[in-house]
Structure 1
Amino acid sequence: MAGIISTVTVFAVAQGLTYPLLSFILERQGTTSGLIGLSSAMTPLGFIVSASFIPALARRVGGARLAILCSVLAALTLIAIAWTQDVWTWMPLRFLLGFFANPLYVISETWLISITPAPRRGRIMGLYSSIVSGGFAIGPLSLGLVGTQGWPPFTVGIVAFLVCGLIVLAVVPRLPKTPHEGTATSVGGFLTLAPLLSFAVFTAAAFEQILLSLFAVYGAALGSAEERIASLITCFIAGNAVLQILLGRVAERFGSTQSMLFCALASLAGCLLLPPLFTSWLIWPLVFVLGGVSFGIYTMSLIQLGERFTGQVLIAGNAAFAFAWGVGGIVGSPATGLAMQLIGHQGLPSSLGLLCCVLAALLMARRRRV
């Protein structure tokens, strides 16, 4: 468990750094919010395209070898991104970054769910989400230490990708084998099998991707400095990291579905409070809690996945989660960027709030049917 979680955590450091870093660079170049959102969507597009290949690749190549290869290729891609400073050149490179990052997440989560005892699933998946979120938090936080100019911030991400591969290499003998029992299920088949669960992942992904990619634009419109925006993003992900274990325990006591509904409603409330509190000191605790409950939707989805599915369906489910995550990112960022161009910077909290409202309504409708 330690090896699996450490692998994804280090990878998350690099992922958490790239979104705000590239947004800051594009913002300084005078790029429109819509184009920044489109650029950010290339990484989740890579998630979408790679998702359907992962189950077969993991069986043929082996999960550990595939994870190590993806770590190296992701590092090379980030070097290429650092070498260029053009938004159009970054489009295919950010796509490749998502394509190479996705298998690592799918394989690691399948490994972890496979070896997690059912009575402790809530707290262990909460711990996993918390530690991985801590890795995401270190990424933006490092921008405050190394800045957003030149090679130093990119070097942090490149080293993190390579360290990830070394960790997998070190724990290969202890890693569980890819499960082969059960009927092989495609990504599309799983999406049909569990549509509401897939939409929850879509919502969590869109929420995070929108905030990471466009919060810099939102803060700049309200006159905030880059350092304050980066700190708020770090606070958002820190709340994500701190609260997941608590939310996992809540899921063990009250059930993952009920806990997911709570996370959706709390996220909606946070979106409504974001505009009036942005210039107040209360923005810090608000963003902290918002980070926890919004990502808690994904944690509850992982818990439900482990409760309901095993074997090859579990692999397909994790790949489908990656697909839904990618769709959430690719749809959310450009749509919100366009909304911000049409109605102003308040298009950000409005878009986030609408997502949470739809998820909460679907969850309540399902509860009534049950």
Structure 2
Amino acid sequence: MEVKSVAMEVGTTVVVKPIVPDVAAIITAITGVTAFAAAQGLTYPLISLVMERRGVPPTISGLNSGAYAMGLAVSTFTVGRLTQVLRGDYLIVLSLIGCACCLALFASFDPLWLWFVARFALGFFASIIFVLSETWLNTACPNSLRGRVSGIYGMGLCGGFAAGPLAITFFGTNDGLAFASLSGYVTLVAFVTFLLGRYARTHPHRGATGEVLKFLGKAPLLIIMVSTFAFADVAAISTMPIYFVRIGHSATFAAASVTALALPTALVQPAIGWLLDRTSRFAVASCSSFVAGASYLAIPFMSSELGILSAFGVMGAANFALYTCALTMLGDRFSGGSLVAGSAAFTLAYATGCAAGSSITASAMELIAPVAGPIAAGIILLTFTCVTIVDAFVRRNNKT
């Protein structure tokens, strides 16, 4: 099949952009990131539960989570150099195999120090999958379809994260079967990714070393958008269940809130992608942050459990739409090696936002009152809404 594309000059480099989608590449990227999300969705609760059962102090458990975040951060600064050594699609396959090996280590060995090494390596490999899948996705689709493709990508990411913990339900936490089952699944995805990649017409671009920090100055609003999403997202996953229990709801309700968050978030993303292709992408981002922020602020004033879960689901869908918007606008504005740097910068921004979201909302609940947790997250989202509106006015005035 003949590849239809259009060439554009970026600096001194000619970058070929497709005008028809590379379906094989898009499917491969979404499959890989879904596996990454499932691994992340499993390890976050399962490792904490296993350590709690073994009597590991919460501080040590928290440091183990920090090892994963450290792996994410280190990977963002090395992925550009790695793409100079090996083609991006091969790196995705090797990273999937690396994730499978880390999960197998959790299933087979008990020494705590080894779990720290495996958690760091899991973050390192997962970050490579995340960065290069985003890059490949934006390389493989034309701008006219970019929003819808990003929406499907977001649905896979959310769906994988929600499906990962199901392994705990089926296999429990005692004998490592949950880790082993997911290790086998990720290995299978690596094999499928390798086969699908052979039919792809495009490949992830090579990145340049030292470009991640430079990118932060090229697209500060996109970086802030991803950080805001991460702040509110981790607050929803880690802080809000605690908030629900502290204001008198049952632990079952707190657990159900995560499901109520994940399902609509995954299902709504294709519709968000459609809006991104049909309307102003900055307008979608502004409306999404406003709806998410208003939903966060409304939850403390609700008494009906059904109403709370409904508002929580709306908040999750609108908040994740910020990431779908950022991913779409990244591919719209950048190409070539800048896509690799941008995706790596997004990962770094996500890690930073997560760290801030979990610490600030948890501290607000401890120092002020439980209600301060959702209010803090809502204020952050509404502040970002104001930032996007001001930015739109500035850009309009500059054009005139």
- What is the TM-score with the length of structure 2 in the denominator? 0.82
Matching of residue 166 in structure 1 with residue 187 in structure 2: no
1:355: which partner in 2?
A: 380
Describe how 1:89-128 pairs up with structure 2 within 5 A. 93-128=118-153
Match of 2:258 among 233, 238, 259: 233
For residues 105 and 238 of structure 2, what CA distance do their matches in structure 1 show?
Answer: 20
Matching of residue 178 in structure 1 with residue 204 in structure 2: yes
Describe how 1:320-339 pairs up with structure 2 within 5 A. 320-339=345-364
Unaligned runs of 5+ in 2: 1-25, 396-400
RMSD over equivalenced CA pairs, Å? 2.9
Deviation at 1:234, TM superposition (A): 2.2
Match of 1:70 among 87, 91, 95: 95
Question: Does the Cα contact within 8 Å between 2:212 and 2:341 map onto a contact in 1?
Answer: yes
Question: Does the Cα contact within 8 Å between 1:47 and 1:323 map onto a contact in 2?
Answer: yes
* Structure 1 range deviating more: 70-79 or 8-17: 70-79
| Cα-to-partner distance string for 1:44-74 (whole Å, 9 max, x where unaligned) | 3322221011122123122122222222222
Question: Does the Cα contact within 8 Å between 2:35 and 2:160 map onto a contact in 1?
Answer: yes
1:272: which partner in 2?
A: 297
More helix by proportion, 1 or 2?
A: 1
2:326: which partner in 1?
A: 301
* Structure 1 range deviating more: 278-287 or 126-135: 278-287
* Structure 1 range deviating more: 68-77 or 172-181: 172-181
Match of 1:290 among 283, 296, 315: 315
Q: State the percentage of identical aligned residues.
A: 30
* Structure 1 range deviating more: 8-17 or 331-340: 331-340
2:156: which partner in 1?
A: 131
Question: Does the Cα contact within 8 Å between 1:27 and 1:217 map onto a contact in 2?
Answer: no
* Structure 1 range deviating more: 326-335 or 240-249: 326-335
* Structure 1 range deviating more: 230-239 or 146-155: 146-155
* Structure 1 range deviating more: 196-205 or 212-221: 212-221
2:338: which partner in 1?
A: 313
| Cα-to-partner distance string for 1:211-267 (whole Å, 9 max, x where unaligned) | 323344334434555554333212211111111111111122221111101111111
Deviation at 1:125, TM superposition (A): 0.9
Deviation at 1:121, TM superposition (A): 1.1
SS of the equivalent of 2:204 reads coil
SS of the equivalent of 2:306 reads coil
For residues 186 and 214 of structure 1, what CA distance do their matches in structure 2 show?
Answer: 34
Question: Does the Cα contact within 8 Å between 2:32 and 2:92 map onto a contact in 1?
Answer: no
1:6: which partner in 2?
A: 31
Do the aligned partners of residues 201 and 238 (structure 1) sit closer, same or farther apart at CA in structure 2, a change above 3 Å counting? same
Question: Does the Cα contact within 8 Å between 1:11 and 1:160 map onto a contact in 2?
Answer: no
For residues 223 and 145 of structure 1, what CA distance do their matches in structure 2 show?
Answer: 29
SS of the equivalent of 1:52 reads helix
Higher Cα Rg, which structure? 2
SS of the equivalent of 1:174 reads coil
Amino acid in the other structure paired with 2:134: E
Count how many residue pairs are aligned between Structure 1 and Structure 2: 369
1:342: which partner in 2?
A: 367
SS of the equivalent of 1:281 reads helix
Do the aligned partners of residues 354 and 144 (structure 1) sit closer, same or farther apart at CA in structure 2, a change above 3 Å counting? farther
For residues 299 and 54 of structure 2, what CA distance do their matches in structure 1 show?
Answer: 27
Deviation at 1:151, TM superposition (A): 2.4
Describe how 1:12-23 pairs up with structure 2 within 5 A. 12-23=37-48
Amino acid in the other structure paired with 2:357: G
Do the aligned partners of residues 179 and 332 (structure 1) sit closer, same or farther apart at CA in structure 2, a change above 3 Å counting? same
Amino acid in the other structure paired with 2:147: G
- What is the TM-score with the length of structure 1 in the denominator? 0.88
Question: Does the Cα contact within 8 Å between 2:131 and 2:344 map onto a contact in 1?
Answer: yes
Deviation at 1:172, TM superposition (A): 2.6
Do the aligned partners of residues 230 and 166 (structure 1) sit closer, same or farther apart at CA in structure 2, a change above 3 Å counting? farther
Match of 1:243 among 255, 268, 287: 268
For residues 83 and 184 of structure 1, what CA distance do their matches in structure 2 show?
Answer: 36
Amino acid in the other structure paired with 1:302: L
| Cα-to-partner distance string for 1:173-231 (whole Å, 9 max, x where unaligned) | 123223359x8770011101111111111111222233323344334434555554333
Higher relative contact order, structure no. (Cα contacts within 8 Å, ≥ 6 residues apart): 1
Question: Does the Cα contact within 8 Å between 2:106 and 2:176 map onto a contact in 1?
Answer: no
